[in-house]
Amino acid sequence: MKLTNICHTYDGQPILRGIDLQVDPGECIGIIGPSGSGKSTLLQILGLLKRPDVGLIELEGRELLAASEEERRLLRLNEIGFVFQQAHLVPYLTVREQLELVQAESESKQDPLHLLDVLGLSHRLNQLPKHLSGGERQRVAVARALINRPQLLLADEPTASLDFENGRRVMELLVAEARNHGRRVLVITHDERMLDVCDRVLLLQDGQLQPSPRH
Ligand SMILES: Nc1ncnc2c1ncn2[C@@H]1O[C@H](COP(=O)(O)OP(=O)(O)O)[C@@H](O)[C@H]1O
Ligand SMILES: [Mg+2]
Protein backbone atom coordinates (compact mmCIF):
# COMPACT_ATOMS: atom_id res chain seq x y z
CA MET A 1 0.00 0.00 0.00
CA LYS A 2 1.23 3.44 -0.83
CA LEU A 3 -0.02 6.79 0.43
CA THR A 4 0.98 9.85 -1.49
CA ASN A 5 0.62 13.41 -0.29
CA ILE A 6 -2.44 12.92 1.92
CA CYS A 7 -3.57 16.37 3.04
CA HIS A 8 -6.57 17.12 5.21
CA THR A 9 -7.96 20.29 6.73
CA TYR A 10 -10.65 20.51 9.38
CA ASP A 11 -12.46 23.77 9.99
CA GLY A 12 -9.71 25.76 8.28
CA GLN A 13 -7.01 24.05 10.35
CA PRO A 14 -4.53 21.85 8.48
CA ILE A 15 -4.42 18.46 10.21
CA LEU A 16 -2.50 16.28 7.74
CA ARG A 17 0.11 18.11 5.69
CA GLY A 18 1.26 15.73 3.00
CA ILE A 19 1.53 12.22 4.39
CA ASP A 20 3.62 9.78 2.32
CA LEU A 21 3.87 6.19 3.44
CA GLN A 22 4.62 2.81 1.97
CA VAL A 23 3.33 -0.26 3.81
CA ASP A 24 4.51 -3.62 2.53
CA PRO A 25 2.57 -6.86 2.84
CA GLY A 26 3.49 -8.49 6.15
CA GLU A 27 4.19 -5.20 7.91
CA CYS A 28 2.68 -4.08 11.19
CA ILE A 29 3.12 -0.37 11.84
CA GLY A 30 2.45 1.37 15.14
CA ILE A 31 1.30 4.99 15.03
CA ILE A 32 1.78 7.29 18.00
CA GLY A 33 1.37 11.03 18.43
CA PRO A 34 -0.09 13.66 20.72
CA SER A 35 -3.84 13.85 21.26
CA GLY A 36 -5.44 15.84 18.43
CA SER A 37 -2.53 15.29 16.06
CA GLY A 38 -4.77 13.61 13.48
CA LYS A 39 -4.14 9.90 14.09
CA SER A 40 -7.82 8.93 13.99
CA THR A 41 -8.38 11.21 10.98
CA LEU A 42 -5.57 9.48 9.10
CA LEU A 43 -6.96 6.04 9.91
CA GLN A 44 -10.48 7.05 8.86
CA ILE A 45 -9.10 8.28 5.55
CA LEU A 46 -7.28 4.97 5.03
CA GLY A 47 -10.46 3.11 5.93
CA LEU A 48 -12.37 5.07 3.25
CA LEU A 49 -14.60 6.55 5.93
CA LYS A 50 -13.44 10.09 5.24
CA ARG A 51 -12.12 11.75 2.08
CA PRO A 52 -8.88 13.73 2.28
CA ASP A 53 -8.66 17.10 0.54
CA VAL A 54 -5.96 15.68 -1.72
CA GLY A 55 -3.84 12.55 -1.95
CA LEU A 56 -3.67 9.03 -3.33
CA ILE A 57 -4.13 5.65 -1.67
CA GLU A 58 -2.89 2.71 -3.67
CA LEU A 59 -3.69 -0.84 -2.55
CA GLU A 60 -2.96 -3.95 -4.61
CA GLY A 61 -2.49 -1.91 -7.76
CA ARG A 62 -5.70 0.14 -7.37
CA GLU A 63 -6.15 3.77 -6.46
CA LEU A 64 -8.89 3.71 -3.82
CA LEU A 65 -9.93 7.34 -3.63
CA ALA A 66 -10.98 7.34 -7.29
CA ALA A 67 -13.29 4.35 -6.73
CA SER A 68 -17.06 4.80 -6.98
CA GLU A 69 -19.19 4.86 -3.82
CA GLU A 70 -20.31 1.27 -4.48
CA GLU A 71 -16.72 0.11 -5.01
CA ARG A 72 -15.71 1.85 -1.81
CA ARG A 73 -18.48 0.06 0.06
CA LEU A 74 -17.23 -3.31 -1.23
CA LEU A 75 -13.64 -2.42 -0.40
CA ARG A 76 -14.68 -1.54 3.16
CA LEU A 77 -16.53 -4.85 3.46
CA ASN A 78 -13.98 -7.18 1.87
CA GLU A 79 -10.56 -5.59 1.87
CA ILE A 80 -10.43 -3.36 4.92
CA GLY A 81 -10.86 -4.31 8.57
CA PHE A 82 -11.43 -1.46 11.02
CA VAL A 83 -11.29 -1.56 14.81
CA PHE A 84 -12.72 1.69 16.13
CA GLN A 85 -11.85 3.35 19.40
CA GLN A 86 -15.30 2.31 20.64
CA ALA A 87 -16.50 -1.18 19.83
CA HIS A 88 -19.63 -0.05 17.90
CA LEU A 89 -21.40 -3.40 18.14
CA VAL A 90 -25.00 -3.87 17.01
CA PRO A 91 -26.96 -3.86 20.30
CA TYR A 92 -29.51 -6.55 19.37
CA LEU A 93 -27.09 -9.10 17.88
CA THR A 94 -25.24 -11.79 19.82
CA VAL A 95 -21.47 -12.12 19.65
CA ARG A 96 -21.71 -14.84 17.02
CA GLU A 97 -24.22 -12.82 14.99
CA GLN A 98 -21.98 -9.72 15.01
CA LEU A 99 -19.50 -11.77 12.96
CA GLU A 100 -22.08 -13.44 10.74
CA LEU A 101 -23.41 -10.02 9.80
CA VAL A 102 -20.20 -8.96 8.11
CA GLN A 103 -18.91 -12.34 6.97
CA ALA A 104 -18.16 -12.27 3.25
CA GLU A 105 -20.54 -14.59 1.39
CA SER A 106 -18.78 -17.48 -0.31
CA GLU A 107 -15.37 -17.88 1.23
CA SER A 108 -15.27 -16.86 4.82
CA LYS A 109 -11.53 -16.80 5.26
CA GLN A 110 -11.47 -17.34 9.01
CA ASP A 111 -13.49 -19.67 11.17
CA PRO A 112 -15.48 -17.39 13.49
CA LEU A 113 -15.59 -19.92 16.31
CA HIS A 114 -11.85 -20.42 16.21
CA LEU A 115 -11.23 -16.68 16.12
CA LEU A 116 -13.53 -16.09 19.10
CA ASP A 117 -11.80 -18.92 20.93
CA VAL A 118 -8.37 -17.35 20.38
CA LEU A 119 -9.75 -14.09 21.75
CA GLY A 120 -11.09 -15.87 24.84
CA LEU A 121 -14.74 -15.36 23.91
CA SER A 122 -15.94 -18.94 23.40
CA HIS A 123 -18.19 -18.76 26.44
CA ARG A 124 -19.83 -15.56 25.17
CA LEU A 125 -21.09 -16.67 21.74
CA ASN A 126 -24.77 -16.18 22.49
CA GLN A 127 -24.54 -13.04 24.62
CA LEU A 128 -25.72 -9.57 23.64
CA PRO A 129 -23.24 -6.66 23.92
CA LYS A 130 -25.01 -5.26 27.01
CA HIS A 131 -23.99 -8.40 28.91
CA LEU A 132 -20.32 -8.12 27.97
CA SER A 133 -17.58 -6.19 29.71
CA GLY A 134 -15.92 -3.29 27.87
CA GLY A 135 -12.89 -5.44 27.16
CA GLU A 136 -15.02 -8.29 25.79
CA ARG A 137 -16.85 -5.89 23.47
CA GLN A 138 -13.57 -4.58 22.20
CA ARG A 139 -12.37 -8.11 21.48
CA VAL A 140 -15.58 -8.85 19.54
CA ALA A 141 -14.86 -5.72 17.50
CA VAL A 142 -11.36 -7.05 16.79
CA ALA A 143 -12.80 -10.42 15.70
CA ARG A 144 -15.26 -8.62 13.42
CA ALA A 145 -12.42 -6.72 11.75
CA LEU A 146 -10.40 -9.90 11.23
CA ILE A 147 -13.13 -12.26 10.05
CA ASN A 148 -12.79 -11.59 6.31
CA ARG A 149 -9.00 -11.57 6.50
CA PRO A 150 -8.79 -8.11 4.94
CA GLN A 151 -5.79 -6.87 2.98
CA LEU A 152 -5.59 -3.85 5.23
CA LEU A 153 -6.24 -3.85 8.97
CA LEU A 154 -6.69 -0.55 10.76
CA ALA A 155 -7.03 -0.34 14.52
CA ASP A 156 -7.57 2.83 16.56
CA GLU A 157 -6.34 2.15 20.10
CA PRO A 158 -7.63 -1.43 20.09
CA THR A 159 -6.12 -2.25 23.47
CA ALA A 160 -7.30 0.85 25.35
CA SER A 161 -10.00 -0.97 27.32
CA LEU A 162 -8.06 -4.21 27.78
CA ASP A 163 -5.83 -5.48 30.56
CA PHE A 164 -2.24 -6.24 29.62
CA GLU A 165 -2.74 -9.91 28.85
CA ASN A 166 -5.77 -9.39 26.60
CA GLY A 167 -4.15 -6.34 25.00
CA ARG A 168 -1.15 -8.40 24.18
CA ARG A 169 -3.30 -11.16 22.72
CA VAL A 170 -5.02 -8.65 20.42
CA MET A 171 -1.70 -7.15 19.30
CA GLU A 172 -0.25 -10.58 18.60
CA LEU A 173 -3.31 -11.53 16.58
CA LEU A 174 -2.94 -8.37 14.47
CA VAL A 175 0.76 -9.00 13.95
CA ALA A 176 0.06 -12.63 13.01
CA GLU A 177 -2.31 -11.44 10.26
CA ALA A 178 0.56 -9.43 8.82
CA ARG A 179 3.33 -11.99 9.26
CA ASN A 180 1.48 -15.19 8.44
CA HIS A 181 -0.89 -13.92 5.77
CA GLY A 182 0.95 -11.00 4.20
CA ARG A 183 -1.60 -8.44 5.35
CA ARG A 184 -0.84 -4.81 6.20
CA VAL A 185 -1.62 -3.60 9.70
CA LEU A 186 -1.69 -0.08 11.11
CA VAL A 187 -2.32 0.33 14.83
CA ILE A 188 -2.72 3.57 16.75
CA THR A 189 -1.78 3.11 20.37
CA HIS A 190 -0.74 5.11 23.38
CA ASP A 191 0.33 1.95 25.12
CA GLU A 192 4.12 1.77 25.03
CA ARG A 193 3.98 -1.86 26.14
CA MET A 194 2.23 -2.83 22.91
CA LEU A 195 4.66 -1.19 20.49
CA ASP A 196 7.51 -3.70 20.65
CA VAL A 197 5.58 -6.20 18.51
CA CYS A 198 5.35 -3.67 15.64
CA ASP A 199 7.89 -3.69 12.80
CA ARG A 200 8.04 0.11 12.78
CA VAL A 201 6.69 2.90 14.95
CA LEU A 202 5.79 6.21 13.32
CA LEU A 203 5.09 9.50 15.05
CA LEU A 204 2.38 11.81 13.74
CA GLN A 205 3.16 15.38 14.71
CA ASP A 206 2.48 18.76 13.10
CA GLY A 207 0.68 16.99 10.27
CA GLN A 208 3.73 14.92 9.33
CA LEU A 209 4.54 11.26 9.77
CA GLN A 210 8.10 10.32 10.69
CA PRO A 211 9.95 7.44 12.33
CA SER A 212 9.58 7.71 16.09
CA PRO A 213 12.96 8.68 17.55
CA ARG A 214 12.25 6.62 20.66
CA HIS A 215 11.52 3.27 19.01
N1 LIG B 1 -15.60 15.75 13.20
C2 LIG B 1 -14.78 16.49 13.94
N3 LIG B 1 -15.25 17.23 14.96
C4 LIG B 1 -14.44 17.98 15.72
N5 LIG B 1 -13.11 18.05 15.53
C6 LIG B 1 -12.58 17.34 14.56
C7 LIG B 1 -13.37 16.52 13.73
N8 LIG B 1 -12.56 15.91 12.85
C9 LIG B 1 -11.33 16.35 13.14
N10 LIG B 1 -11.32 17.21 14.16
C11 LIG B 1 -10.12 17.89 14.70
O12 LIG B 1 -9.02 17.34 14.02
C13 LIG B 1 -7.89 17.20 14.86
C14 LIG B 1 -7.37 15.79 14.80
O15 LIG B 1 -8.29 14.92 15.43
P16 LIG B 1 -8.04 13.36 15.57
O17 LIG B 1 -7.75 12.82 14.22
O18 LIG B 1 -9.20 12.79 16.29
O19 LIG B 1 -6.72 13.30 16.46
P20 LIG B 1 -6.11 12.13 17.35
O21 LIG B 1 -6.79 10.86 16.96
O22 LIG B 1 -4.65 12.14 17.04
O23 LIG B 1 -6.34 12.49 18.77
C24 LIG B 1 -8.33 17.63 16.25
O25 LIG B 1 -7.84 18.92 16.45
C26 LIG B 1 -9.85 17.61 16.15
O27 LIG B 1 -10.37 18.61 16.97
MG1 LIG C 1 -7.89 9.49 18.07
What's the pLDDT tens digit per position in 28-46? 999 999 999 999 999 999 9
Tell me the CA–centroid distance for residue 205 and ligand 2, in Å.
13
The answer to the question of residue 2 being in a domain is no
Please report whether residue 166 resides in a domain.
yes
Task: Categorise residue 73: left if φ over 0, alpha if ψ from -120 to 50, beta otherwise.
Answer: alpha
> Quick check: is 83 in a domain?
yes
pLDDT tens digits for range 122-138: 999 999 999 999 999 99
For residue 117, being part of any structural domain is answered with yes
> Can you tell me the distance from the alpha carbon of 195 to that of 66, in angstroms, rounded to the nearest whole number?
33
**In the sheet that 13-22 helps form, which strands lie side by side, from edge to edge?**
13-22, 2-10, 54-59, 62-63
Residue 36's pLDDT is 95
- Residue 39: nearest ligand to its CA? 1
- Residue 79 CA to residue 59 CA, distance in Å, equals 9
Helix (H/G/I), strand (E/B), else coil: 210:
strand
In a domain, 118, yes or no: yes
Task: Find the residues whose C-beta lies inside 6 A of ligand 1.
Answer: 10, 15, 33, 35-41
Residue 42 is part of which domain span? 24-48+68-211
Q: How many domains does the chain have?
A: 1
> Cβ of 214: how many Cβ atoms within 10 Å?
9
What's the mean pLDDT in 66-87? 91
* 53 vs 18: CA distance, rounded Å: 10
Atom 9 in ligand 1: residue holding the nearest Cα: 10
pLDDT at 94 over 90: yes
